[in-house]
Amino acid sequence: MPARASIFDTTLRDGAQTEGVSFSTEDKLEILERLDAFGIDFVEGGYPASNPKDKAFFKAAHKVKLKNAKLVAFGATHRPGVRPGQDKGMEALLDAKTEWVSVFGKSWDLHVEKALQVSLEENLRIVQDTVSFLKKKGRRVIFDAEHFFDGYRNNPDYAMKVLHVAEDAGAEWLCLCDTNGGAFPSLVGEVVSRVRQEMKVPIGVHAHNDGELAAGNSLAAVEAGASMVQGTINGLGERCGNANLCSIIPNLMLKMKVETGVKNLDQLSKLSHFVAEMANVSPDPRAPYVGKSAFAPKGGIHVSTVLKDSRTYEHVEPELVGNQRRILVSELSGVSNIMAKAGEMGIDTEKDGGRSILELMKRREAEGFQYEAAEASLELLIRKLKGENTSPFRLEGFRTFMDVTGDVMTSEASVRVVDSDGTMEHTAADGNGPVNALDRALRKALERFYPVLKEVRLIDYKVRVIDGKEATAAKVRVLITSTDGNQTWTTIGVSGNIIEASLMALTDSIDYKLMRAGVNGNGVSLNCQ
């Protein structure tokens, strides 16, 4: 096993092939800078022969002063029947003006004969001519042996010949690709070990995740002597994705004690979330190391034990990768969960109080509430049970109206609210549906008393049917996420009436904001900011 492994990131190239993902040139430049600051050794920027956007990226990227990473252009071996100097793909690679280029070539005899439709000898000449041409043009070459593990299983002698030809032609790295993502760690380890013994230049691995083994295969390759791992942030990539560097890097550094160029591993979670945002995909809460749920115990026994010694249920300290422990509360919780969660919220709770909160919460969850997804409502529930009047207003009544004019349906809501001094406000508002109308009417009425509510806006609204067997009479769970520009919080409501459930979540959202602003039903500051 090597003392150090180079990390080769292909988020901007292979990751951009993820279904539904399309990076702009500006997106790619921002990601490049983040990867460089994180300490990635190689960043594959794109396939300049495939599209004008990648060409524009390489032109713009040369203005970025990289401190740690080497920018890499990606391409294929030259086309059959065309000399390298006359091949448009070779021309695009050279025009990218990167010191390093990554070139893939066929190493599976099936692909040579069926996809490339040339003889096995001709493919060897193509590999040799491509690498030699690029070397003569002053480029440093990483040769990606496409479908290598499938090729090795089918015809090991030929797969090895391809590597020897690329090495003899001047390739400085030989990267073995599990392009179909179907290899097992046992095969990867065996093959990499043999290749490492025969080759003079260092070996890399490029794994896809079709068998959900990409990370395991990458680590098995390193154990067998590979000193480069290719992958993407968050495992982005076509089909089932590429090897996930957010799992591989901490496993290398924390578990295998293999050095990498990464400067600040505690920035890993931020990097993961940043790339997800740029890709316009939701972060996976259950992603190892960086996911929101990665260090979030829920079972009562687990929480009780982890609070005594975190090593009992955490394989690493979450802070090492920039994550944090979260204590969840649910029907599976024990008093320890409640005590820990109350402590996180700054609420003093005696053990007896914790048990009464737990019993109430379990009753509420039996009714359909789910507080692990709505911590703002949970905090309000705990404070109310402790005797704090967290709501400085009272909803006296409301009505919703639907009107259809031709093909247009409109909604209107009216509400009556009373503040803590007994002053009533009665107002109405239109909206895009009854819930939106209620939200607007409620905040319109309350902003007279509490101007701070003008900062609040709803950013997400989810409805879940709790028991589908009840059909249209089923209870629904409504989750509403709100923000004031600085903080984001989620509240919950449950009812057989979707309007009532929505109103519960809406009023909790307003109560939470006012509580955080230091206002409660007794006019007392809660010092929650």
Q: Where do the domains of the chain lie?
A: 6-279, 300-366, 393-516
CB neighbours of 50 closer than 8 A, spacing ≥ 6? none
CA distance 241 to 36: 22
DSSP assignment, residue 17?
G
Please give the structure tokens belonging to residue 273. 């979330």
Render pLDDT for 307-351 as a digit per residue (tens, 0 to 9). Answer: 556 677 678 998 999 987 765 555 444 555 556 656 665 665 554
CB neighbours of 516 closer than 8 A, spacing ≥ 6? 487, 528, 529
Predicted confidence band of residue 529 (pLDDT cuts 50, 70, 90): very low
Please tell me the predicted confidence (pLDDT) of residue 523: 41
In terms of Cα–Cα distance, which of 377, 383, 376, 384 is closest to 488?
376
CATH among 3.40.50.1000, 3.60.20.10, 3.30.160.270, 1.10.10.10 for 393-516: 3.30.160.270
Instruction: List, in sequence order, every beta strand (DSSP E) within 94-161.
Output: 100-106, 140-146
In terms of Cα–Cα distance, which of 79, 15, 20 is closest to 47?
15
**Average pLDDT, stretch 95-110?**
97
Please tell me the predicted confidence (pLDDT) of residue 368: 80
203 vs 385 pLDDT, higher one: 203
Sheet arrangement for strand 393-405? 393-405, 408-419, 424-431
**Residue 379: CB atoms within 10 Å:** 26
**Average pLDDT, stretch 507-524?**
77
CB neighbours of 405 closer than 8 A, spacing ≥ 6? none
3-state helix, strand, coil in the chain (%, to 5): 45, 20, 35
Please tell me the predicted confidence (pLDDT) of residue 464: 85
Predicted confidence band of residue 421 (pLDDT cuts 50, 70, 90): confident
- Give yes or no for a contact between 503 and 438, defined as CB atoms under 8 angstroms apart: yes
pLDDT at residue 360 tops 80: no
Please tell me the predicted confidence (pLDDT) of residue 525: 36
CA distance 160 to 164: 6
Please tell me the predicted confidence (pLDDT) of residue 53: 87
Would strands 42-46 and 70-76 be described as parallel, antiparallel, or unpaired? parallel
N residues, the chain: 529
CATH among 3.40.50.1970, 3.10.20.30, 1.10.490.10, 3.20.20.70 for 6-279: 3.20.20.70
Look over the chain and give the mean of its residue pLDDT values, rounded to a whole number: 87
Predicted confidence band of residue 527 (pLDDT cuts 50, 70, 90): very low
pLDDT at residue 271 tops 80: yes
CA distance 112 to 109: 5
Please tell me the predicted confidence (pLDDT) of residue 401: 85
Helix (H) / strand (E) element for 215: namely helix 214-223
Please tell me the predicted confidence (pLDDT) of residue 449: 87
In the three-class reduction of DSSP (H, G, I as helix; E, B as strand; rest coil), residue 143 is classed as strand
DSSP assignment, residue 79?
P
pLDDT at residue 28 tops 50: yes
pLDDT at residue 90 tops 60: yes
In terms of Cα–Cα distance, which of 396, 394, 436, 393 is closest to 413?
436
Please give the structure tokens belonging to residue 527. 């010092």
In the three-class reduction of DSSP (H, G, I as helix; E, B as strand; rest coil), residue 2 is classed as coil
Distance set, CA 86 to CA 92, 133, 353 (Å)? 11, 11, 79
pLDDT at residue 387 tops 90: no
In the three-class reduction of DSSP (H, G, I as helix; E, B as strand; rest coil), residue 396 is classed as strand
191 vs 386 pLDDT, higher one: 191
